[in-house]
Amino acid sequence: MNATTGLVTAVSEGNTNIVATATDGSNVSGSAALQVTASQILVTSITVSSGRASIPDDATEQFNANVLPGNADNRAVTFPPVMRL
């Protein structure tokens, strides 16, 4: 915390109280509660791959999704339906 400006930088999740005290010798102070929550780690890229680039008519092919970063909070993906070719 910057003691002059009151600017606070969160460094870890948890709860704390922010206190401001008068400098005029009166010892008057006030406070406010602050809760710091964890930042959400979002997906930055998805690479879709399969074993083949071409398949015969009426064949099936399994596709896989590699989601990055590996520590993203929600790495789930969906494969929405596509029009039949």
**Which helix (H) or strand (E) element contains residue 49?**
strand 45-50
Backbone angles phi, psi at 68, to 5 degrees: -125, 150
C-alpha span between 41 and 63 (Å, rounded): 25
Same domain, 11 and 34: yes
pTM for the whole thing?
0.56
Q: Please check whether residues 2 and 31 belong to one and the same domain.
A: yes
Is the domain of 28 the same as that of 3?
Answer: yes
Lowest mean pLDDT among 1-5, 9-13, 25-29, 79-83: 79-83
DSSP 8-state class, residue 61: -
pLDDT at 64: 95
Q: Report, as an integer, the average pLDDT of 22-38.
A: 95
11 and 31 inside one domain:
yes
- Check whether residue 34 and residue 44 sit in a common domain: no
